[in-house]
A and B are shown apart, each in its own frame.
Chain A
Amino acid sequence: MSYSANLKDRIGRFVIYAIVLMLALVCLLPLWNIVAISFSSSEAVSANAVGLVPVNFTTAAYTKIIEDAQFWRSFGISVLRVALTLVLNMILIILMAYPLSKSKRDFKGRNIYMNIMIFAMLFSGGMIPSYLLIKNLDMLNTIWALVLPGAVPIFSVILVMNFFSAVPKALEEAAFIDGANPLQVLFKVYVPVSIPALATVALFSIVGTWNDFFGGLIYMTKVSNYPLMTYIQSLNVNIADLLQAGTNSSELSNLTEISNKNLNAAKIVVAVIPLLLIYPLLQKYFVTGIVVGSVKE
């Protein structure tokens, strides 16, 4: 009897492993298929012959990308955007999270600031007033339209604030006694002990900014100013929509000319590489970040 229970147990265990591994494959294979397509000849791609192994292996698509000036221009805009956003985000997160981690008694006005932030997180003017603001500030087609609106990631400020408030008070008091001012305490005591939390929000910032296509879509009226994701998105976009949006015809012919399947696949692969490079780092930190950030007593 114990043998059959054991057998049943083992079958059960096998089934669970099989389901879990299958789910992992379901997540991985569609992505892998794109990689295989990017290395296959366009004939094989249009004949739908490509599965998980490239057919007629070629790097032609990648050589074509190297010659695509707009791709690299957009890539550069995205890199610049990520860098500027990251610096701005980190400075503002650190500066805001520290005072907010103090009690209402130690920092008069804390709750007012907190309410300003929470209201801004919950309610927004919406897409069109934001667009009109950027337009009136004359920031359309500038990098600032892609950087400044997202300068304060409120969720991240709250996450770091929670982390800061768990730092032992004694550390701060010792520094004060040594004659440090709050700014010195912040950068010499709080920041060094909060690296995991800061890394988490830095990675949120990088991933979010790199992946965003919408800012480019509404704030950039010229394709030449598109960040990478908006550029890639525009490759599959409906031509009628573009016409309606007032894109001129030479830009349109550019877009249609380069829209073929394996070239697009290669572009996607290149666009994802920066994220894959930071993914190992990302994974190390975000699990703690998520668990700390999503649950508040």
Chain B
Amino acid sequence: MKQGKWKARGRLGPGAMYHMMMLPGILFLLVFSYVPMVGIITAFQDYIPAKGMFGSEFVGLKHFMYMFKLPDIAQVVSNTLVIAIGKILLGTMMAIIFSVLLNEIRIKYVKKSVQTIVYLPHFLSWVVLASVVVNMFSLDGIVNQMLAFFGLENINFLGSNTWFQPLIIGTDVWKEFGYSSIVYLAAITSIDPGLYEAAGMDGASWWRKVWHITLPGMLPIILLMGVMSLTNILSAGFDQVYNLYNPVVYESGDILDTYVYRIGLVGRQYSFGTAVGLFKSVIGIVLLMSANQLAKKYTDRKIF
């Protein structure tokens, strides 16, 4: 009936207006998100830029077979997984610990100032922070000066395949723990204060209150965030790795995204690069779907 009224006045009804409002955005998505999806066919071709996507020869799964035979790819996938999982586990732990501790800070301006400072690195780009990290961890940087002070061997963090992954994981945790703690702090605030009072009456120590009330109260959100982070398991952080690595540590530092960039784009092997990228996207979407199911099953919430 409402629709009829609009039409009777000779104007567009809300329905038609709604479609028109959606139009510009959807057009952008079609051009800049969906057209590249069509471009995936280059993964099944020997793409030659001069011949274009519709003139190049189809070669089936050649590039995928090649990819799975390359010795590099196992190394790259394993680097990606180690770095991503390390970041998820340590980052989550650190954010939880920090939010529990920060929650104990009662002096308001101390709490506020600490928050302002620890959120800051999240807003700076890895381009900027890479210089900060290089500055600290280079051979003559402050970290090595400290090692020397304690009589320990110098470590070439940025040029050592043993130390590069821990460095990547550690500095990412450093950048993000403050910001990730926001959701955990919100979860702590929503815990019923009555529980703490009751526990206090029973003589529970601070540690027991944390263990038996705070952590269980945070559990749903911890699970949800954990499940959501599964989605990122094949994106170990292009910006960070790209800005910190160098040929010496390709062996331990190359992740799928940097590999696609290096081999596919810089090396101009467009078809091969697209194939590796597609491999990543497909596994990513499978993981995301599973994560969503897991989230629904265990936390009663879903991601989308």
Contact = CB atoms under 8 A, between A and B. Distances in A.
Contacts of B53: 132
9 contacts: A20-B98, A30-B135, A107-B14, A127-B265, A148-B28, A212-B125, A214-B238, A233-B130, A283-B115
Contacts of B4: none
Contacts of B52: 136
Contacts of A151: 25, 28, 32
Contacts, number: 254
Most interface-central of A116, A124, A275, A290 (chain B CB within 10 A): A124
A282 B271 CA distance: 42
A113 to B, nearest CB: 5
Given A92-B24, A151-B32, A297-B301, A265 B121 contact: no
Which applies to chain A's interface (DSSP): helix, strand, loop or mixed? helix
Contacts of B101: 16, 19-20
Contacts of A264: 131
Given A123-B285, A128-B260, A233-B243, A95 B25 contact: yes
Contact of A27 (B120, B131, B281): B120
B188 to A, nearest CB: 12
Nearest to A238: B246
Contact of A102 (B18, B132, B174, B288): B18
A174 interface: no
A128 B265 contact: yes
A235 to B, nearest CB: 9
A34 B32 contact: no
B264 interface: yes
Interface string A264-291: 1100100110010001001100010011
A48 B116 CA distance: 29
Interface in A82-106: 91-92, 95-96, 98-100, 102, 106
Given A20-B114, A23-B118, A214-B238, A126 B22 contact: no
A271 B110 CA distance: 28
B128 A271 contact: yes
A96 B21 contact: yes
Interface string A238-279: 101100110000000000000001001100100110010001
Interface in A197-251: 207, 210-214, 218, 229-230, 232-233, 236, 238, 240-241, 244-245
B182 interface: yes
Contacts of A125: 33, 35-40, 277, 281
Contacts of B246: 238
Given A24-B117, A129-B40, A296-B302, A287 B29 contact: no
